Structure 1
Amino acid sequence: METIKIKIFGLFGMLGSIIAQILGGWDSALQTLLIFMAIDYITGLIVAGVFKKSNKSDSGALQSNAGWKGLCKKGVTLLIVLIGVRLDLMLGLGNFIRNAVVIGFCLNELVSIVENTGLMGVPFPPIVLQAIEILKKKSNEVKIPKGDESHGL
């Protein structure tokens, strides 16, 4: 029985290292993103399950469909990080694009965490809320240029 347990843990460890390597390595940026994602998901569950104030469902209560959508979004976020990693490799940029993508998603998760904890009634210092508002406005101002049709972009 002990050898089966060791093999299962070994398999999970191997899969975890492969995934981390594919996502650009197990560094502080990836760790921070995953921690923020977990905190956002957990606070979202608390807002819906305990406080019944979620804006993801009509009743504000916990719904498995909303939770599943949230997990899918987090999975797609990691796929976009993978795209950043591959672009960096292709262009020889080190971790430039990947880190920019990770930082962007960390900020997005942070905004969501603050919104969730705000729905719970957790007070925040006004300076933190002002900084987040500035980040939100700046992210809304960023426009992604459309590709030139003649080049197939």
Structure 2
Amino acid sequence: MGDYKALALTGLGLVGGWLADLLGGWDTGLQSLLIFMAVDYASGLILAGVFRKSQKSAQGALESGAAWQGFFRKGAALAVVLIACRLDLLLGLNFIRDATIIAYCGNELISITENIGLIGVPLPKPIQGAISALKDKEEKL
């Protein structure tokens, strides 16, 4: 049984490494984007499943269709990051991918903020300031 587990984990590590390489490397930007995507998805599931206040379904409750749409939207955003990374390589640049990641991070943070607000949790001032700074940086790009 241990051999299968090691083989499965090795395969998962290889696939994860390959995907990270395709997306431009496992740097702070990609790590942050994936964390923000996971938090947004989880907060959306909690909002719909526990609080039944989702704006993605008619009843505000959890719906598998809305959950799958959210999942595929995240995948589409990562596909855009892949395209941005390839454009950087083709053009000999080093900012299209980063600008794309910053834009998506800002979008994810807005969505997280909306979800948390609907749940009823106030955001601390430093986080509000960081979101504002990220929005400003996104506008300058």
TM-score exceeds 0.5: yes
* Cα deviation 1:36-60 (Å, max 9, x = unaligned): 0000000000000010000000000
Paired residues in the alignment total: 136
- Is 1:122 the counterpart of 2:121? The answer is yes
Q: Cα distance, 1:125 vs. partner?
A: 4.5
- Is 1:111 the counterpart of 2:114? The answer is no
Give the unaligned 5+ runs of structure 1: 143-153
Give the unaligned 5+ runs of structure 2: none
Partner of 1:151: none
**Higher share of residues assigned helix:** 2
- Is 1:4 the counterpart of 2:8? The answer is no
Q: Which amino acid aligns with 2:93?
A: L
Q: Cα distance, 1:124 vs. partner?
A: 2.4
In structure 1, what is the Cα distance between the partners aligned to 2:85 and 2:35? Answer: 19
Instruction: Name the Cα RMSD after superposition.
Output: 2.1
Query: Which 4+ residue blocks in structure 1 deviate beyond 4 angstroms?
Result: none
- Is 1:81 the counterpart of 2:57? The answer is no
Helix, strand or coil: the match of 1:37? helix
The percentage of aligned residue pairs carrying the same residue is: 51
Helix, strand or coil: the match of 1:55? coil
Partner of 2:25: 25
Alignment of 1:84-103 (within 5 A): 84-94=84-94, 96-103=95-102
In structure 1, what is the Cα distance between the partners aligned to 2:63 and 2:109? Answer: 23
Larger Rg: 1
Q: Cα distance, 1:126 vs. partner?
A: 6.2
In structure 2, what is the Cα distance between the partners aligned to 1:124 and 1:30? Answer: 24
In structure 2, what is the Cα distance between the partners aligned to 1:88 and 1:125? Answer: 36
